[in-house]
Amino acid sequence: MKEIRETLEVLLAIWKAIEFEQIPVKIKTRIYDYFADRIHAAAMHANSYENFIELLCRKMNASVPQLPDVKDPDAILEQCREIPIFLVAALREEIFKKGGAA
Protein backbone atom coordinates (compact mmCIF):
# COMPACT_ATOMS: atom_id res chain seq x y z
CA MET A 1 0.00 0.00 0.00
CA LYS A 2 1.24 3.45 -0.81
CA GLU A 3 1.99 5.96 1.89
CA ILE A 4 -1.19 7.44 3.32
CA ARG A 5 0.30 10.59 4.90
CA GLU A 6 -0.65 12.78 1.95
CA THR A 7 -4.21 11.45 1.93
CA LEU A 8 -4.56 12.05 5.67
CA GLU A 9 -3.41 15.65 5.28
CA VAL A 10 -6.07 16.26 2.64
CA LEU A 11 -8.81 14.58 4.69
CA LEU A 12 -7.78 16.47 7.84
CA ALA A 13 -8.05 19.78 5.97
CA ILE A 14 -11.56 18.84 4.85
CA TRP A 15 -12.46 17.61 8.36
CA LYS A 16 -11.47 20.99 9.80
CA ALA A 17 -13.69 22.76 7.24
CA ILE A 18 -16.84 20.83 8.18
CA GLU A 19 -19.54 22.96 9.74
CA PHE A 20 -20.40 20.56 12.55
CA GLU A 21 -23.19 22.75 13.92
CA GLN A 22 -25.05 22.12 10.63
CA ILE A 23 -24.90 18.33 11.06
CA PRO A 24 -27.93 16.68 12.68
CA VAL A 25 -27.34 15.12 16.12
CA LYS A 26 -28.32 11.70 14.79
CA ILE A 27 -25.40 11.83 12.34
CA LYS A 28 -22.98 13.36 14.86
CA THR A 29 -23.24 10.25 17.02
CA ARG A 30 -21.65 8.24 14.20
CA ILE A 31 -19.71 11.00 12.47
CA TYR A 32 -16.63 8.89 11.69
CA ASP A 33 -18.68 6.18 9.96
CA TYR A 34 -20.60 8.87 8.14
CA PHE A 35 -17.37 10.55 7.00
CA ALA A 36 -15.94 7.23 5.78
CA ASP A 37 -19.14 6.56 3.83
CA ARG A 38 -19.02 10.00 2.23
CA ILE A 39 -15.33 9.64 1.37
CA HIS A 40 -16.03 6.34 -0.39
CA ALA A 41 -19.11 7.65 -2.21
CA ALA A 42 -17.34 10.80 -3.39
CA ALA A 43 -14.29 8.83 -4.54
CA MET A 44 -16.41 6.31 -6.44
CA HIS A 45 -18.32 9.04 -8.27
CA ALA A 46 -15.39 11.35 -8.94
CA ASN A 47 -13.54 11.32 -12.23
CA SER A 48 -10.62 13.38 -10.90
CA TYR A 49 -8.98 14.43 -7.64
CA GLU A 50 -10.45 17.93 -7.94
CA ASN A 51 -13.93 16.53 -8.53
CA PHE A 52 -13.50 14.24 -5.50
CA ILE A 53 -12.65 17.23 -3.28
CA GLU A 54 -15.68 19.17 -4.50
CA LEU A 55 -18.03 16.20 -4.04
CA LEU A 56 -16.76 15.34 -0.56
CA CYS A 57 -16.96 18.93 0.64
CA ARG A 58 -20.50 19.22 -0.69
CA LYS A 59 -21.54 15.91 0.94
CA MET A 60 -20.02 17.00 4.28
CA ASN A 61 -21.34 20.57 4.17
CA ALA A 62 -17.80 21.92 4.23
CA SER A 63 -16.30 24.82 2.38
CA VAL A 64 -13.44 23.77 0.14
CA PRO A 65 -10.39 24.41 2.33
CA GLN A 66 -6.87 25.41 1.42
CA LEU A 67 -5.44 21.99 0.63
CA PRO A 68 -1.83 20.90 0.88
CA ASP A 69 0.04 20.41 -2.36
CA VAL A 70 -0.15 16.77 -3.39
CA LYS A 71 2.37 14.76 -5.36
CA ASP A 72 0.09 11.93 -6.41
CA PRO A 73 -3.60 12.89 -6.60
CA ASP A 74 -4.46 9.59 -8.31
CA ALA A 75 -3.11 7.66 -5.32
CA ILE A 76 -5.29 9.72 -2.98
CA LEU A 77 -8.36 8.96 -5.04
CA GLU A 78 -7.45 5.25 -5.18
CA GLN A 79 -6.96 5.05 -1.41
CA CYS A 80 -10.26 6.80 -0.76
CA ARG A 81 -11.98 4.25 -2.98
CA GLU A 82 -10.27 1.22 -1.47
CA ILE A 83 -9.63 1.90 2.23
CA PRO A 84 -11.90 4.72 3.48
CA ILE A 85 -12.57 3.08 6.86
CA PHE A 86 -8.85 2.61 7.51
CA LEU A 87 -8.18 6.21 6.48
CA VAL A 88 -10.82 7.55 8.87
CA ALA A 89 -9.45 5.41 11.70
CA ALA A 90 -5.99 6.85 11.05
CA LEU A 91 -7.49 10.34 10.78
CA ARG A 92 -9.26 9.89 14.11
CA GLU A 93 -5.98 8.90 15.73
CA GLU A 94 -4.33 11.98 14.21
CA ILE A 95 -7.10 14.23 15.56
CA PHE A 96 -6.67 12.79 19.07
CA LYS A 97 -2.87 13.22 18.89
CA LYS A 98 -3.34 16.90 18.07
CA GLY A 99 -5.74 17.30 20.96
CA GLY A 100 -8.79 17.90 18.81
CA ALA A 101 -12.31 16.91 19.63
CA ALA A 102 -13.66 13.74 18.15
Residue 3, helix vs strand vs coil:
coil
Q: What is the pLDDT of residue 72?
A: 95
What pTM, to 2 d.p., does this model score?
0.92
Per-residue pLDDT of the chain (102 residues; tens, 9 = 90+): 568 999 999 999 999 999 999 999 999 999 999 999 999 999 999 999 999 999 999 999 999 999 999 999 999 999 999 999 999 999 999 999 877 655
Which helix or strand (DSSP H or E) is residue 56 part of?
helix 49-59
pLDDT score of 98: 78
Domains of the chain, residue spans: 5-97
Distance CA 49, CA 78 (A): 10
